[in-house]
């Protein structure tokens, strides 16, 4: 007789193993949802000697009973295999009983112990800005190591071509035709338009499943204290810039720790004593350290390499003179707007850009090292990506660095260069090292992917499709998108759709909602150089239909009045 339990909490049990007297001390994180733990409770005496030592919450009766059963089971087993038993049993039971939930793809196995997830998001890092994606003017050895030890995506897309909507797509699992925040919308004096309380976020899912949740870096989805601020949307801990406009400044006058404004005296006035990315990074490492014993979701939203282009002198000097001729950038170095949005001057923008990426690369290396040092490597999925294509601001010279690689366009474009981004995923033992995939995926797929890893079904409908089968290289179980859709409300309004290898782009949407559509065949023309719309009227008609139907109207972000 089998009993089934569904839960998701961390606990620790210890006690002597029956027949041997050897002590066991087991830290075990119960997998929630999909992989139900099934124990032959009838065989387990409830008066187990094992004790529940630690739990993150007060456990209901049923869970205590389960834990006792679980501990009793331990006592009745040969000690050496207990860990294998715990890892293998749920998967086997899941397959035997068809208990993997409603997912069609029941073949994908996930670990019994829920992994930590570290999602590192660079800001405006282009498809060509990493060594493993072809960058030749500077090196990114640590980030490249994620590729060597994991999986490289060649066709991953950001949520949008600018910050806020891209992150909204990430955190809601919805593309910009459905998600609430579809553009950068400022709120004065500090912050952006909030995602509503009713929005179910990725962080809320993790928290509901017993994870510690931390966001470090740049937020941009709700001004401090609003219903959209990180603490209101599922993050236990936030440290960094609430406001993405304030994130233009690498020596800010203050940062936010949850809802407290932290004044940085070292940066008072025009002082540059504290480079914020380093301060935020230190807190990021602390978060990993503090949560070593329990599952955590860590969202590292770096502000690098977004403008302003600024790096501490000791790093900058390593790159100074390497990229002549430098064209100095003249910014705002005083006055009422100083450090309130406009970028500061930079004499060596190319060197500064390369220096900043070297800082990001080192920080990624230190995160990997921290995970290794704490023995969490095999139980931690690390994802690295960027929120949109390379920018042209603050003196940046993306053509010089070939920051968009073979793609057309930059940040704010809906050509590939604005939205196709690097993505790397490392998870030792689960993701085969040194692999690549051409699977077409986007930010709104991340939520359902992580949900599948947790074995839960989020309570809201999403546009995303889990790419877990691709991550685990689980045969042909990967479902494909019918299409991907983006809309962008600045610069006259823009829309685009990708369907298989077809790419349609429409600009000037605000003035001409039914204006002409450009059509490209990415299999032949990755750089989107030949508009072949006139050769394929039937494809154009199909794409126009998608551009009409992929979106719901938004009061905040309108097209065509
Ligand atoms: Ca960005
Ligand atoms: Ca919410």
- Percent residues over pLDDT 70 in the chain: 81
Rounded Cα distance, 420 and 154, in Å: 9
Q: Give me the pLDDT at residue 559, please.
A: 85
- Residue holding tokens 């969202």? 299
Cα torsion at 490, 412, 365, 465 (round to 10°)? Answer: 80
Which CATH architecture best describes the domain 484-549? 2-Layer Sandwich (3.30)
In the structure encoding, which two tokens stand for residue 168, read together? 């909204």
State the ligand closest to the CA atom of 207: 2
- Residue holding tokens 């429409």? 506
Q: How far is the CA of 93 from the centre of ligand 2 (A)?
A: 34
Q: How far is the CA of 121 from the centre of ligand 2 (A)?
A: 21
Q: How far is the CA of 182 from the centre of ligand 1 (A)?
A: 14
How confident is the model over 283-311, as pLDDT tens digits? 999 999 999 999 999 999 999 999 999 99
Rounded Cα distance, 496 and 543, in Å: 9
Rounded Cα distance, 133 and 145, in Å: 12
| Alpha-carbon Rg for the chain in angstroms | 25
Closest CA to 155 of 397, 462, 470: 470
Least confident window among 45-49, 71-75, 488-492, 495-499: 45-49
* Ordered DSSP codes for 119-187: EEEESS--TTSSGGGT--SS--HHHHHHHHTSEEEEEEE-S-SSHHHHHHHHHHS--TTTSS--S--B-
**Strand ranges for 367-419 from DSSP E:** 380-386
Cβ atoms of 407 and 417 closer than 8 Å: yes
State the ligand closest to the CA atom of 197: 2
- 3-state secondary structure (DSSP) of residue 256: strand
Residues with CB under 5 A from ligand 2 (ion): 199
Residue ranges of domains in the chain: 3-97, 116-471, 484-549
How confident is the model over 146-193, as pLDDT tens digits? 999 999 999 999 999 999 999 999 999 999 999 999 999 999 999 999
State the ligand closest to the CA atom of 443: 1
Q: How far is the CA of 294 from the centre of ligand 2 (A)?
A: 23
Beta partners for residue 257, in sequence order: 239, 260
Spatial strand order in the sheet of 502-507 = 484-488, 494-499, 502-507, 518-521
Rounded Cα distance, 116 and 132, in Å: 25
In the structure encoding, which two tokens stand for residue 146, read together? 């994620």
Rounded Cα distance, 367 and 285, in Å: 7
- Average pLDDT score over residue span 35-43: 29
C-alpha distances (whole Å) from 471 to each of 27, 153, 181, 208 are 27, 10, 28, 24
Q: How far is the first Cα of the chain from the last one, in angstroms, to the nearest whole number?
A: 63
Whether the per-residue pLDDT at 200 is higher than 70: the answer is: yes
C-alpha distances (whole Å) from 281 to each of 298, 363, 490 are 12, 7, 32
Cβ atoms of 24 and 15 closer than 8 Å: yes
State the ligand closest to the CA atom of 231: 2
Task: Give 534 or 73, the one with higher predicted confidence.
Answer: 534
Q: How far is the CA of 544 from the centre of ligand 2 (A)?
A: 33
Q: How far is the CA of 165 from the centre of ligand 1 (A)?
A: 10
Q: Give me the pLDDT at residue 107, please.
A: 53
Helices 276-290, 349-373: crossing angle, 10 deg rounding: 10
Q: How far is the CA of 306 from the centre of ligand 1 (A)?
A: 7
Whether the per-residue pLDDT at 106 is higher than 60: the answer is: no
Task: Give 51 or 72, the one with higher predicted confidence.
Answer: 72
Cβ atoms of 101 and 455 closer than 8 Å: yes
Q: How far is the CA of 291 from the centre of ligand 1 (A)?
A: 28
Q: How far is the CA of 203 from the centre of ligand 2 (A)?
A: 9
- Average pLDDT score over residue span 105-118: 76
Q: How far is the CA of 385 from the centre of ligand 1 (A)?
A: 11
Q: Give me the pLDDT at residue 476, please.
A: 78
Beta partners for residue 301, in sequence order: 121, 217
Helix, strand, coil share (%) of the chain residues, nearest 5: 30, 20, 50
State the ligand closest to the CA atom of 221: 2
The domain made up of 116-471 has a fold known as: Alkaline Phosphatase, subunit A (3.40.720)
How confident is the model over 415-469, as pLDDT tens digits? 999 999 999 999 999 999 999 999 999 999 999 999 999 999 998 999 999 999 9
Q: Give me the pLDDT at residue 561, please.
A: 55
Whether the per-residue pLDDT at 258 is higher than 70: the answer is: yes
Q: How far is the CA of 297 from the centre of ligand 2 (A)?
A: 16
Whether the per-residue pLDDT at 63 is higher than 50: the answer is: no
Closest CA to 159 of 130, 129, 184, 135: 184
State the ligand closest to the CA atom of 386: 1
Whether the per-residue pLDDT at 23 is higher than 80: the answer is: no
Least confident window among 50-54, 202-206, 428-432, 434-438: 50-54
State the ligand closest to the CA atom of 195: 2
Q: How far is the CA of 228 from the centre of ligand 2 (A)?
A: 8
Sequence length of the chain is 561
Rounded Cα distance, 222 and 193, in Å: 5
* Mean of pLDDT over the chain: 85
In the structure encoding, which two tokens stand for residue 218, read together? 């740049």
Give the DSSP letter of residue 230: G
Which segments of 127-217 does DSSP mark as H helices, in order? Answer: 141-148, 163-172, 202-208
Q: How far is the CA of 383 from the centre of ligand 2 (A)?
A: 23
Q: How far is the CA of 205 from the centre of ligand 2 (A)?
A: 10
Whether the per-residue pLDDT at 550 is higher than 70: the answer is: yes
Task: Give 34 or 186, the one with higher predicted confidence.
Answer: 186
- Average pLDDT score over residue span 193-218: 98
Q: How far is the CA of 172 from the centre of ligand 2 (A)?
A: 10
Closest CA to 410 of 204, 65, 158: 158
With cut-offs at 50, 70 and 90, classify the pLDDT of residue 560. low
């Amino acid at each position: 007789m089998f009993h089934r339990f569904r839960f998701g909490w961390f606990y620790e049990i210890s006690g002597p193993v029956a027949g041997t007297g050897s002590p066991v001390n087991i830290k075990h994180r119960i997998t929630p949802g999909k992989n139900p733990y099934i124990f032959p409770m009838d065989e387990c005496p409830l008066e187990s000697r094992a004790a529940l030592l630690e739990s993150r919450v007060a456990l209901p009766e049923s869970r205590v009973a389960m834990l006792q059963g679980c501990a009793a089971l331990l006592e009745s087993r040969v000690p050496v295999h207990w860990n294998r038993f715990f890892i293998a049993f749920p998967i086997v039971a899941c397959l035997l009983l068809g208990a993997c939930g409603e997912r069609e793809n029941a073949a994908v196995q996930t670990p019994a112990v829920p992994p930590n997830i570290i999602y590192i998001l660079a800001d405006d890092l282009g498809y060509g800005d990493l060594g493993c994606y072809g960058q030749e003017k500077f090196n990114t050895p640590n980030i490249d190591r994620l590729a060597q030890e994991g999986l490289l995506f060649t066709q991953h897309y950001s949520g949008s071509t600018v910050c806020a909507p891209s992150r909204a797509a990430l955190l809601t699992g919805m593309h910009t035709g459905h998600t609430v925040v579809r553009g950068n919308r400022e709120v004065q004096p500090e912050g952006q338009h909030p995602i509503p309380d009713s929005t179910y976020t990725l962080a809320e899912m993790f928290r509901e499943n017993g994870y510690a949740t931390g966001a470090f870096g740049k937020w941009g989805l709700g001004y401090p204290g609003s219903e959209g601020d990180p603490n209101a949307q599922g993050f236990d801990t936030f440290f960094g810039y609430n406001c993405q406009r304030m994130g233009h400044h690498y020596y800010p006058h203050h940062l936010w720790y949850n809802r407290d404004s932290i004044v940085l005296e070292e940066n008072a006035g025009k002082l540059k004593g504290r480079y914020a990315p380093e301060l935020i990074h230190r807190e990021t490492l602390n978060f990993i350290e503090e949560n070593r014993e329990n599952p955590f979701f860590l969202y590292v939203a770096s502000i690098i390499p977004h403008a302003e282009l600024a790096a501490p002198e000791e790093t900058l000097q390593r790159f100074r003179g390497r990229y002549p001729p430098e064209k100095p950038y003249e910014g705002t170095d005083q006055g009422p707007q100083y450090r309130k949005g406009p970028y500061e001057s930079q004499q060596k923008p190319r060197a500064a850009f390369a220096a900043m990426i070297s800082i990001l690369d080192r920080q990624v290396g230190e995160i990997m090292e921290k995970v290794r040092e704490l023995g969490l490597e095999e139980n931690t999925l690390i994802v690295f990506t960027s929120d949109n294509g390379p920018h042209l601001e603050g003196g940046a010279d993306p053509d010089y660095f070939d920051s968009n690689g073979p793609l057309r366009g930059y940040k704010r474009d809906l050509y590939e260069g604005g939205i196709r981004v690097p993505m790397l995923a490392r998870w030792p033992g689960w993701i085969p090292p040194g692999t690549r995939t051409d699977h077409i995926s986007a930010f709104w797929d991340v939520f359902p992917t992580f949900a599948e890893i947790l074995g839960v079904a989020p309570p809201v409908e999403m546009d995303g499709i889990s790419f877990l089968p691709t991550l685990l290289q689980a045969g042909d179980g990967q479902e494909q998108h019918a299409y991907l859709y983006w809309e962008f409300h600045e610069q006259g309004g823009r829309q685009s759709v990708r369907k298989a290898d077809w790419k349609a782009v429409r600009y000037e949407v605000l003035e001409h909602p039914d204006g002409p559509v450009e059509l490209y065949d990415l299999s032949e023309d990755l750089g989107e150089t030949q508009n072949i719309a006139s050769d394929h009227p039937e494809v154009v008609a199909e794409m126009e239909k998608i551009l009409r139907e992929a979106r719901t109207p938004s009061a905040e972000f309108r097209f065509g009045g």
